[in-house]
Amino acid sequence: MSDRITHECGIALIRLLKPLSYYQEKYGSPLWGFTKLFLLMEKQHNRGQDGAGVACVKLDMPPGDPYMFRERCVKPNPLDKIFKTLLRSYNEKVQEGTVHPEFAETVRKHFDFGGELYMGHLRYGTSGGYNLSSCHPYFRRSSWPTRNLALCGNFNMTNTAELNASLIAMGQHPIFATDTQALLEKIGFFLDEEHEDIYRFLRTRGLPGAEISRRISEDLDIARVITRASQKWDGGYALCGLIGNGDAFVVRDPAGIRPCWYFQNDEVVAFASERAPLLTVFDLAVEQVKEVEPGHVVVVKKKGTVTTTRFTAPLPRASCSFERIYFSRGNDIEIYEERKALGGRLADQVLASVDHDWGNTVFSFIPNTAEVAYYGLLSELRERRRQEVKRAVSEAARKGALTDELLDELIIRNWPRGEKVVSKDIKLRTFIGQESMRNQLASHVYDITYGSVKSTDNLVCVDDSIVRGTTLRRSILRILARLNPKKIVIVSTAPQIRYPDCYGIDMSELGKFVAFEAAVSLLKERGKASLLEEVYQLCRAEVAANGPTNHVRKIYEPFTPEEISARITELVSPRGISWTGKIEIIFQSIENLHAAVPNHRGDWYFTGKYPTPGGYRTVNQAYVNYFDKSEGRSY
């Protein structure tokens, strides 16, 4: 994605089902689970660089000893810093003789993360800034193990204000910070109630304190807690939670918007945002990893039992298509094939754009995340060219006109040609992650391979999606123009992004989308500017009524996708450069998106069809904000 948008966060949870001594004896280290957590998070590093956090629970620690720990970091390379810090502490204890790795019990007693239950989070902030207090896991403390709660997640809630209002109605005094804080307090409230109900029941029977604590831990019904806490949740979410007694849970939203996967054997239960990291870290076959079902909570009790329970009414499946286009790593075989299909399905538009000029067209990609789609496009183009060559050779053979010169013309001089014309300086991109500085330095992120394109060539570059058009406008097209091609064609594997997202991606300001900018420009040019005021009034009324209609769709209805694409091309074309070639921007069609990614139909940013009421409230509020010139998130 040439424009930077906020990525999805990443989650990981590991529950060891054997004593630490088992892993010491079998794998040679009592830190086997701790190491697996690090690997599982590192393999999802694509999902967060704004911060990282880990938590650990030790089972059956004696009274007086701590049993629940957390470490967080928002400095550059946060995951690396966290694990280096913790391993340094471990090695110091080994050197001083406090910890003896061959005796696992010394690890449990003296090393904070020498436990059986681990949780990790990789953060891309969509709210709350970049300070440590906004970094997951969040922690709700108590002197009762069964009331201690650590929570992290990959999510956005559309109705945080409503959730906070419900906490106030309960008598709480919530701090209006983030949706994470709201969920923490919501779950914590019902966790407290569950605890108190069991405690009062047992106390009337005269049980001693230690037995009461044990029975509360056994009887605590986490699924019931989540069912009660989630009654008003509206959003896309995959949540992980640890309870101080050793229980753990993972929750997925009822539309399956946010992804979550897990596997279980007799040694471990592990969860992650993506399937491929689980396959790699635990050396698994694809069929061993299962999807957490939408609208279900998976509970791992302290004793190691695993149960899955539906906690809310189901919704039509709306798994995020952006996960397949861009967010998730492409080494998952299904995602890999889908991205290839996204590229392949652009072939018709690309060939029309370059007038089937095989011999004078160079194909490439930008950024690196578009590489798999580029392979898919080239594969489809080469297949089509093979069919063309086959027909031409057969025809020439029938006429007795098959010559070496003809074969050279068909194959050698007119075959789809791919080049690596653009490369990205990853270190520089990390350095300029903050948007204000990024806008000043973005042109230096990319380098080109000078001489790879001739002045008679068309240059086709595959991009995975185009959001704001800012990077195209300010840097990419200017850089590509230095290659002096005849024509530049930018090909987006995603359709036009027309509507805001409120379920995890930080794309909530409508006025920043280049497709919206193009539609508004066309309305004004064609004397239809009054529609902007009309839609404003409709959106205000819809927000007030909390209605289910997306009135922003009216902005796009007067125009074909091709008209909007043409205006986008005009808007992003660089000014004040000496190159005089043509530019064209091509977008994937909705129909081809659905054909290439059939099982992830969450496409509200393209179609405006939202899976929850909060989505419709968000899109209408986003337009009200735009019209009122009010910046900031619309949810």
State the SS3 of 141-158. CCCCHHHCEEEEEEEEEC
Residues recorded for the chain: 635
Tell me if residue 127 falls in helix, strand or coil: coil
Q: How confident is the model over 411-428, as a mean pLDDT?
A: 80
Q: Which of 40-54, 345-359, 427-441, 482-496 has the lowest mean pLDDT?
A: 427-441
Q: Give CA–CA dist 328/584, Å, rounded.
A: 28
Angle at 419 between CA 350 and CA 483, to 5 degrees: 85
pLDDT at 18 over 80: yes
140, 190 in Cβ contact below 8 A? no
b/e 189-206 (16+ beta carbons within 10 angstroms → b):
bbbbebbeebbeebeeee
pLDDT at 206: 82
Distance of CA 116 to the CA centre of its chain: 28
Instruction: Tell me the pLDDT tens digit for each residue of 235-279.
Output: 999 999 999 999 999 999 999 999 999 999 999 999 999 999 999
pLDDT at 429: 45
Q: Give CA–CA dist 81/362, Å, rounded.
A: 42
Tokens 């999902």 correspond to 47
pLDDT at 424: 72
pLDDT above 70: percentage of residues in the chain: 94
pLDDT at 434 over 50: no
- Which has the closest alpha carbon to 228: 339, 309, 320? 309
- Which has the closest alpha carbon to 52: 152, 179, 198, 192? 152
- Which has the closest alpha carbon to 416: 357, 366, 370? 357
Higher-pLDDT residue of 5 and 348 is 348
pLDDT at 1 over 60: no
pLDDT at 441: 56
pLDDT at 82 over 80: yes
Q: How confident is the model over 478-499, as a mean pLDDT?
A: 96
Q: Give CA–CA dist 2/406, Å, rounded.
A: 41
Q: Give CA–CA dist 376/383, Å, rounded.
A: 11
Q: Give CA–CA dist 474/470, Å, rounded.
A: 6
Sheet harboring 268-272: ordered strands across?
68-73, 51-57, 117-123, 10-16, 268-272, 261-264, 290-291
pLDDT at 175: 72
361, 458 in Cβ contact below 8 A? yes
pLDDT-derived band at 116, boundaries 50, 70, 90 = very high
117, 148 in Cβ contact below 8 A? no
Q: How confident is the model over 412-435, as a mean pLDDT?
A: 69
What is the full DSSP assignment across 99-126? --TTSHHHHHHH-TT-SSEEEEEEE--S
pLDDT-derived band at 426, boundaries 50, 70, 90 = low
- Which has the closest alpha carbon to 489: 474, 476, 507? 476
pLDDT at 513 over 60: yes
154, 11 in Cβ contact below 8 A? yes
Q: Which of 117-121, 134-138, 244-248 has the lowest mean pLDDT?
A: 134-138
pLDDT at 489: 98
pLDDT at 176: 61
Is residue 613 reached through a cis peptide bond, with omega within 30 degrees of 0 on the bond before it?
no
Instruction: Tell me the pLDDT tens digit for each residue of 454-485.
Output: 999 999 999 999 999 988 988 899 999 999 99
Query: What is the average pLDDT value for the chain, to the nearest integer?
Result: 91
3-class SS shares of the chain: helix, strand, coil, % to 5: 45, 15, 40
Instruction: Tell me the pLDDT tens digit for each residue of 303-333.
Output: 999 999 999 999 999 999 999 998 888 889 9
pLDDT above 90: percentage of residues in the chain: 77
pLDDT-derived band at 5, boundaries 50, 70, 90 = very low
385, 411 in Cβ contact below 8 A? no
CB-count burial class (<10 Å; 0-12, 13-18, 19+) for 570: exposed
pLDDT at 432 over 50: no
Q: Give CA–CA dist 380/384, Å, rounded.
A: 6
pLDDT at 435 over 60: no
Q: Record the pTM.
A: 0.92
Q: Which of 153-162, 183-192, 375-384, 432-441 has the lowest mean pLDDT?
A: 432-441
- Which has the closest alpha carbon to 104: 31, 27, 20? 20
pLDDT at 433: 44
Q: How confident is the model over 127-146, as a mean pLDDT?
A: 80
pLDDT at 443: 56
Tell me if residue 198 falls in helix, strand or coil: helix
Out of 153-162, 211-220, 438-447, the most confident range is 211-220
Q: How confident is the model over 539-543, as a mean pLDDT?
A: 97
2, 446 in Cβ contact below 8 A? no
Q: How confident is the model over 582-602, as a mean pLDDT?
A: 97
- Non-local (6+) Cβ contacts of 445 within 8 A are 424, 425, 428, 429, 432, 475
